[in-house]
Amino acid sequence: MKLRSISANSPVRRAQWHALGLSDEDLQKPKIAVVNSSSELAICFSHLDGVAKVVKEAIRAAGGVPFEVRTTAVSDFITGAARQGSYILGGRDLIPNDIEAQVEAAMLDGMVCLTSCDKTPPGHLMAAMRLNIPTLLVIGGYQASGMIDGDHVDVEDLFSGGIGETLGRKGKHSVDAMTRQAIRGPGVCAGMATANTMHSVVEALGMCIAGSAPVRANSDKMFDAARAAGVRIVDMVKEDLTPRQIMTPGAFRNAAAMVQAVSGSINAIKHLQATATEGGLDVDLFDIWEEMGRKVPILTAVRPSGHRRIEEFEDAGGARAMLKQLEPILDTFTVVASGRTMGEDLADAKVLDSEVIRPLDNPVADGPAICILKGSLAPESAVVKLGIPDGKRPESFRGPARVFESTEAAMTAIENGELQKGEVLVLRGQGLKGGPAMGGGASFVLFAIDAAGLARDVAFVTDGQLSGLCLKGLTVAEVSPESAVGGPIGKVRDGDVIDIDVPSRKLDVDVPADQLEGREGPGAEHAVPAEGWLAMYRRDVQPMATGAVLLDLDQKQGS
């Protein structure tokens, strides 16, 4: 075992650590970063100090030396308040840089990342690939939700109800009542939105203790996994088992299979692509998504795609049980955090309720849950989430465009009853550079369409992203190239006929190519101004094909 932290020991470094209470014996042990995004701003992260304590104790008991370090904590509903949510995705890329500036700079030997709300799992995975030191993620768990008059109420109900009430359409329960019941404890949003999707992805990649996801926050099960991670990371350092040995192309196929099977969040695609890009892997997640979509049916019906709660999914065996059901089509030779292969790790896995987590020959529905579209309106890619078919949500749509340059304009038009059945609402200027960082405006528009009772009668096309809570009508998101970089979506005019054909994976605008090319796009003005960090993000963010990573120093020098 050759430890980086020992080879970097200088007299002043030793003096610093002696002053922190480390002994000469400690200086010869593996030094492990415990990466903590604890924050009093958001309930998603509020419990992580307690998790960090357990992990540190386990590392010490296993013969390592833990160092707790703090990073940016991005919570969609809290740090998404300013600039129409531009800090949500923009914050993701602060996390790996934050980690690099502490863990790599200090030449620590390994790290355990306490992963919670939507952007921390990809941020941690990106950092793991970049630094390529032994790494484990500890799943922080999901929040408890409440009841009103016998009805279960969670954050999805609150989000939808809040927008509906803004449009003057009151639901069964008041927004005030839901505000008091939807979130009843620490952790991420309940349901198979982006956070629980990404937690399940972490397990499919092999980057956590087996059986960790999803999990009730602050449960005994969560703390048991945290202790096990603290012990295991010390052995991983001794074995030199690194993320690039675990997160191989086969592991990314397994992760894509997981997301398709749980009908998870479309945001997983760009997060996995960003992780692969950070590791220098030559994999195209958009192609992998289509490949796995042809193989993987939908095997569970967790909200927002279906009627089951995330607690039911966990109690049925969670992500590990899902991997067991998917085993015949997985790459079971990938190495996971235990040091064994995926197949070896799944040998004793059990499905505790095969109605909640179905076998391949008895799915909830045929797949795919998520499709990649291309065409004259999306030459590079666009994403559509179909979820579980209900016989009412269309998979094809052809109609005239109603184009909006801002969330506010689209919301006003919906509120005033100007959006007509048969139209395709086009919201642009919401992309990686236009947003910037894709913002959160598209999600509000989608919920407004649903609240107006139009989700099955109009289609929605945007170069923005959607919350993992969103599954309303036929919606095509993350159209690339985006409007702000000259993509065709920026040249669509009111009345242009848009053709969405999911079965053939096409997204077209019925305008001759030369005519479309000759049109002027929107001006250089952005709906959301960007200063400081967001200005740097807008300047440096790369296209969706990279997962929206930022330029590193070598790329900048070579450009």
Q: Which residues are catalytic?
A: 467
The runs of H, that is alpha helices, within 116-246 are: 120-131, 155-166, 175-181, 194-205, 220-239, 243-246
Query: Which one-letter amino acid corresponds to residue 22?
Result: L
C-alpha to C-alpha distance for 221 and 215, rounded to whole angstroms: 7
Classify residue 328 by burial, with Cβ atoms within 10 Å: 0-12, 13-18, 19+. exposed
Q: Tally Cβ neighbours within 10 Å of residue 535.
A: 12
Q: Are 84 and 528 in contact (CB under 8 A)?
A: yes
C-alpha to C-alpha distance for 61 and 234, rounded to whole angstroms: 10
C-alpha to C-alpha distance for 451 and 442, rounded to whole angstroms: 14
Sorted by sequence, the CB contacts under 8 Å of residue 393 that are 6+ apart come out as 386, 387, 456, 473, 474
The encoded tokens of residue 346 equal: 């799944």
Sorted by sequence, the CB contacts under 8 Å of residue 11 that are 6+ apart come out as none
Q: What residues pair up with 424 in beta bridges, in sequence order?
A: 401, 459
Rounded to whole angstroms, the maximal C-alpha distance in the chain is 75
Give the three-class secondary structure for 554: helix
Of 112, 100, 119, 168, the C-alpha closest to 137 is 112
Give the three-class secondary structure for 548: coil
The encoded tokens of residue 355 equal: 């109605």
Q: Are 389 and 424 in contact (CB under 8 A)?
A: no
The encoded tokens of residue 109 equal: 């030997």
Give the three-class secondary structure for 206: coil
Q: What residues pair up with 462 in beta bridges, in sequence order?
A: 427
Of 431, 435, 479, 471, the C-alpha closest to 450 is 471
The encoded tokens of residue 519 equal: 């049109």
Give the three-class secondary structure for 88: helix
